[in-house]
């Protein structure tokens, strides 16, 4: 019997029990589809997170305050202590102190209620400088950002995020309208273009005011000069490391700290955030793929079970073929081809379902799913391998049947 004849005979055996064959490959089908979706969701999430972080600027450094320690000795996380001030940001802005830093944007943030007409909305009010739009790579949809003259005069002006503007004013023209923040009336001078969300906040639900205005009219007290974050823009991607070193050395000197181990601030880069997020999602993808792979194991056991049933049902056929001179390897080959056909069928159907689901689900779940050709190809190959591996025992058992015993079976 040639390979082609073995294939035709095997296909005929599989096709003659179509329902049983479909039920057999169901486990492989589900497993392949699950693996493709899991890998695709992991890759898509990595791309989404990387895009969100990179949208802030690939040459961006983020300086955060240090940790605080309570009277009971409890130590908080980084960012819980007001160790950064506007003086630090002004020093970093000096090209003499930090020639590789091209832009500095300090932020002081607080959650406050905004009132426009009869509408109230609580959002994050951020005090910053005029360099904020260029450093954070934000653009305006309407109006303009506040000017340096307005910042110097501590003017009561505000730039709203797109979502904040919609909540307060709906579809009406926002620029020129008045909004009340902490009992002080501010004039809306601009609306930011939509930016979406990052890993920690909604970038469209904000209100931006001059830092001097926030310090005098909204915050006040001893914390008026404190900043929650300082964003630094390196002159170029290649100068990012130099900018990091300059900022670190300057802040240590300003805070009279001799060792970096005792620093009361942290400096992180966008690349570090992307690398961390990617590592986390890669680990999660591997774990989820392993769970999905269990269904492939179940599918393989199903293939072996059905092949054993097939051997039992066709015992007389096997005995007759061996009595007519068929060698054991020919019998083994036929049953292995049958198992491979089951695996291949499950792999192809699972791949089709997985790809279709990957193309349609993003609109439902709101997250990207990337179809990896490598994952699809490997999944189909694994499906065939599972069919063959789990078909070895039934095929070997069929090949070892004695012709006389097989012909005597009922």
94-148 pLDDT per residue, tens: 876 678 898 999 999 999 999 998 899 999 999 999 999 998 889 999 999 999 9
The mean predicted confidence, pLDDT, of the chain is 82
| DSSP state string for 158-173 | EEE-HHHHHHHHTTS-
Q: What pTM was computed for the model?
A: 0.60
Give the separation between CA 59 and CA 312, rounded to whole angstroms.
68
Four-CA torsion 247, 248, 251, 257, nearest 10 degrees: -170
The CA–CA distances, whole Å, from 57 to 40, 196, 236 equal 26, 15, 10
Give the pLDDT band of residue 68 (cuts 50, 70, 90): very low
Look up residue 239 and give its DSSP letter. Answer: G
pLDDT of residue 263: 87
Other beta carbons within 10 Å of 350: 29
Residue 76 in this model has a pLDDT that exceeds 50: no
Other beta carbons within 10 Å of 316: 13
Look up residue 357 and give its DSSP letter. Answer: H
Q: Provide the residue ranges of all domains of the chain, joining segments of one domain with +.
A: 3-52+276-408, 84-254
Give the pLDDT band of residue 32 (cuts 50, 70, 90): confident
Secondary structure of the chain: what % helix, strand, coil (to 5)?
55, 20, 25
Phi/psi of residue 158, each to 5°?
-145, 145
The residues near 47 (Cβ < 8 Å, ≥ 6 apart) are 368, 370
Give the separation between CA 395 and CA 387, rounded to whole angstroms.
11
Task: Look up residue 181 and give its two tokens.
Answer: 């923040």
pLDDT of residue 281: 73
Look up residue 197 and give its DSSP letter. Answer: B
pLDDT of residue 406: 57
């Amino acid at each position: 019997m040639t390979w082609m004849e073995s294939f035709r005979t095997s296909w005929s055996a599989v096709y003659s029990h179509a329902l049983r064959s479909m039920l057999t490959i169901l486990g492989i089908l589900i497993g392949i589809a699950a693996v493709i979706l899991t890998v695709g969701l992991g890759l898509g999430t990595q791309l989404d997170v990387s895009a969100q972080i990179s949208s802030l600027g690939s040459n961006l450094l983020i300086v955060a305050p240090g940790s605080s320690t309570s009277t009971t000795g409890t130590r908080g996380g980084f960012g819980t202590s007001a160790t950064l001030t506007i003086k630090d940001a002004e020093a970093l802005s000096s090209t003499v102190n930090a020639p590789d830093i091209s832009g500095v944007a300090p932020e002081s943030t607080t959650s406050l209620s905004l009132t426009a007409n009869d509408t109230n909305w609580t959002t994050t009010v951020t005090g910053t400088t005029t360099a904020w739009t260029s450093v954070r790579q934000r653009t305006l949809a309407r109006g303009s950002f506040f000017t340096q003259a307005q910042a110097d005069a501590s003017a009561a002006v505000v730039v709203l995020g797109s979502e904040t503007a919609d909540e307060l004013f709906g579809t009406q023209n926002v620029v020129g309208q008045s909004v009340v923040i902490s009992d002080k009336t501010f004039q809306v001078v601009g609306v930011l273009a939509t930016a979406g969300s990052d890993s920690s906040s909604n970038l469209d639900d904000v209100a931006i005011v001059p830092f001097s205005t926030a310090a005098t009219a909204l915050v006040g007290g001893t914390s008026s000069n404190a900043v929650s974050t300082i964003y630094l823009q390196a002159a170029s991607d290649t100068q990012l490391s130099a900018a990091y070193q300059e900022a670190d050395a300057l802040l240590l000197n300003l805070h009279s700290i001799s060792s970096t181990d005792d620093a009361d601030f942290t400096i992180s880069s966008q690349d570090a955030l992307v690398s961390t997020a990617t590592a986390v999602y890669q680990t999660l993808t591997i774990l989820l793929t392993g769970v999905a792979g269990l269904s492939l194991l179940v599918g393989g056991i199903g293939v072996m079970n059905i092949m054993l049933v097939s051997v039992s049902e066709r015992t007389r056929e096997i005995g007759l073929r061996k009595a007519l001179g068929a060698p054991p390897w020919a019998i083994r080959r036929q049953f292995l081809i049958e198992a491979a056909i089951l695996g291949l069928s499950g792999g192809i159907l699972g791949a089709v379902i997985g790809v279709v689901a990957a193309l349609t689900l993003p609109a439902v779940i709101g997250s990207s799913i990337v179809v990896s050709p490598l994952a699809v190809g490997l999944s189909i190959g694994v499906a065939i391998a599972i069919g063959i591996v789990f078909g070895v025992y039934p095929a070997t058992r069929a090949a070892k049947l004695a012709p006389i015993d097989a012909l005597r079976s009922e």
